Amino acid sequence: MKQRINVLVLNEKDTVGVAMDDLRAGDIGVYLLAGKKYEVNVVQDIPIYHKMALTAMLEGEHAYKYGQEIGRVTLDITAGQHVHSHNLISIREGVNE
């Protein structure tokens, strides 16, 4: 059975990808990078256009999307987990303070 690409990843530095469909726990997240297909087991429901962890990340580490640092992990995250404000603080928070 051919699996459809359902996660957008643009850069080898990326630790998160963007769900291109609503993903449910138990689904397989599939993405292409440099012509190679990768799969990640989805462990939490992830709404369309939200971030999904491609790898495990520890509290305090930096998260990357589209090759750019987007924030700092505030709770340990496992691969396939939803990444959002409950476990990541944006580097943009407090920019205008």
Question: How far, in Å, CA of 85 to CA of 61, rounded?
Answer: 15
The side-by-side arrangement of strands in the sheet containing 62-65 is 62-65, 68-73, 88-90
Q: Mean pLDDT of all residues in the chain?
A: 93
Q: What's the pLDDT at 45?
A: 98
Q: What's the pLDDT at 70?
A: 95
pLDDT for 50-76, tens place per residue? Answer: 999 999 999 999 999 999 999 999 999
Question: How far, in Å, CA of 97 to CA of 80, rounded?
Answer: 33
Which residues of the chain, if any, have pLDDT below 50?
95-97
Predicted TM-score of the model (pTM): 0.90
Q: What's the pLDDT at 2?
A: 63
Q: What's the pLDDT at 91?
A: 86
Task: List domains and CATH numbers for the chain.
Answer: 7-90 (2.30.130.110)
Q: What's the pLDDT at 93?
A: 63
